[in-house]
Structure 1
């Protein structure tokens, strides 16, 4: 077999540095093409041997490889469509077509899996004699070797591009090795016995194909319905914003997915209210440009002023922020300001609590009383006005 390292080095020389989007795109299409060709070869050959041998298990294994070939085709199609520039009717590009195509393909694979379930049950009821074919056993061994090579290849591509798609493909390839080994065993046993073990293996593989297709449907539906963005990406965006010396904090980050790896969104960035407006504008502009160039996310940032006029007010704000950092059930505190309404002095804040970790979702007064204690230590007699939102985050802050 061709060396994985040699093959990836040749690809990198052809498509350029993976530090650039064009290099990652080229490498992704290259890997998808390799997967399409190899899986198509395995699928066609297994189906031919399976039909000639009357082996429903081997045919089902070929169909499983066929679904892998289609997945590779979707990757190639999606990456090419995603590169198509926006137009008047599609100002955000065409990246979501990848998900639509994947959904159609997933339903196709599901229908094939169900059909083979039916055929396998018929074979159990009315067994057929297996007709061994010369070269079938050798080919199945070769297929396992190819899939082991593809596992290493996909892992290498995933490491170079940071693509979860190819990481999943590596896992799928190693599972295919196990499936083919079971088919090989049933093929050998079925050649020397009349027991319909081949039909039972076909049934198991059909269930596997059906299960995988349902998983594919879920994976393609989620981004179309609007799934939560990757938490690591969120942390990188927030971390880059906080590298700016004048930035006090960030909140209300909203990201919208318009295709694989293509995000647009908005985020509020906090500054002291008395910082020069042009200075803030330049800082936000730098953050937007850096995030787009480094992470490929196009953001529109909104300046959120922290209204404090005295050192004591700043001290209160910092203490409230420390309180937030000490809590696992609180995600953020923002929109901090002092307001005077006639004879009333108010401290206004907005709090975002974790919808999964909080034990006080039905008792929001609990959080108000906690904040009120801190406020009263610095500004006794001030009233508290507080809005509470519910958010979700997969990983700890």
Structure 2
């Protein structure tokens, strides 16, 4: 429980920093975007608004995922983080669609304006702040193995990239190529859409119990095979459950072992996997006699 509290506090700390930073950036970019007539900066500002929403979702989902198991959720609530991350992806995709539509209509209308100089400064500040947020958030996300925070970090990076696009578009528009500003807004929308799609794809894979990375499977297989009394293993299955893994496998043992001896080996396999492999929360071991397995 203490480990879970530390995990939540670390996630909460970086999330609060992200929330404050995104709030300031969103207000700055949207306000200056309207005053300086920059479609790209307004789009970038609403991207920061979606960052605020995503950070709140991540905070709530991490907190809920730490809720202990109960009779209705015997495995715990860790998948709440994946659900929260999926909601974040939907917000990003919807944001991208609306911003892309507005930028496209602006280009078609021909109502183009030359952005003011403050728009350049706001875009530059956003690039620096969002890149710093990305680096801090990805570091903490990997340390506590939080898919929600890692997704939020990539959201920060996409915001930094969209601010670069906005900077280029605003700069080009100020040089006389006014169409570059709404065009940059369109590029920003595409970048947001791409990140939203990638996050939704990854969380859907987890929610559908997709197999984790092969290195983890091989690591757990090697631990099980190293236990005295295990002749071989088969049907090794892993599935992600929030920051943790659940393992199912079958072990083959000698025919003449008693039920007690077979259970003792299975318990040893379970304990060794949990102790030696990071983030494994539960292991189910099925015991097969050698002759039955090879019959």
Query: Quick check: TM above 0.5?
Result: yes
Question: What secondary structure does 2:249 align onto?
Answer: strand
Query: Does residue 278 in structure 1 map to residue 236 in structure 2?
Result: no
TM-score (structure 2 length as normaliser):
0.84
Partner of 2:13: 30
**Alignment match of 2:133 (pick from 150, 171, 175):** 150
Partner of 2:95: 112
Deviation at 1:124? 0.8
Identify if the C-alpha distance between structure 1 residues 25 and 241 changes in structure 2 by more than 3 Å, giving closer, same or farther. farther
Contact 2:255/2:289 (<8 A) preserved: yes
Q: Which has the higher contact order (CA 8 A, sep 6+)?
A: 2
Cα separation, 1, equivalents of 2:216 and 2:23: 35
Q: Which of 1 and 2 has greater Rg? A: 1
**Alignment match of 2:290 (pick from 294, 299, 306):** 306
Cα separation, 1, equivalents of 2:104 and 2:280: 50
Query: Does residue 191 in structure 1 map to residue 174 in structure 2?
Result: yes
Contact 1:75/1:98 (<8 A) preserved: yes
Deviation at 1:199? 0.9
**Alignment match of 2:34 (pick from 51, 57, 81):** 51
Q: How many residues align?
A: 292
C-alpha distance after superposition, 1:64-100 (max 9, x if no partner): 2333333333332221111112233333333333333
Larger helix proportion of the pair: 2
Q: Please give the residue correspondences for 1:60-139 in structure 2 after superposition, counting only pairs within 5 Å.
A: 60-126=43-109, 127-132=111-116, 134=118, 136-139=119-122
Partner of 1:339: none
C-alpha distance after superposition, 1:272-324 (max 9, x if no partner): 222343233223223323433553331121111213xxxxxxxxxxxxxxxxx
Deviation at 1:167? 5.2
Deviation at 1:132? 1.5
**Alignment match of 1:249 (pick from 204, 210, 232):** 232
Identify if the C-alpha distance between structure 1 residues 215 and 146 changes in structure 2 by more than 3 Å, giving closer, same or farther. same
Larger strand proportion of the pair: 1
Contact 1:123/1:196 (<8 A) preserved: no
Contact 2:173/2:179 (<8 A) preserved: yes
Question: What secondary structure does 1:250 align onto?
Answer: strand
Query: Does residue 296 in structure 1 map to residue 280 in structure 2?
Result: yes
Question: What secondary structure does 1:88 align onto?
Answer: coil
Question: What secondary structure does 2:236 align onto?
Answer: strand
Partner of 1:262: 244
- Aligned CA-pair RMSD: 2.9
Deviates more, 1:118-127 or 1:173-182: 173-182
Question: What secondary structure does 1:301 align onto?
Answer: strand
Query: Does residue 205 in structure 1 map to residue 188 in structure 2?
Result: yes
C-alpha distance after superposition, 1:47-74 (max 9, x if no partner): 2221222211111112223333333333
Question: What secondary structure does 1:229 align onto?
Answer: coil
Cα separation, 1, equivalents of 2:173 and 2:182: 10
TM-score (structure 1 length as normaliser):
0.65
Deviation at 1:154? 3.2
Cα separation, 1, equivalents of 2:141 and 2:235: 31
Contact 1:154/1:166 (<8 A) preserved: yes
Question: What secondary structure does 2:124 align onto?
Answer: helix
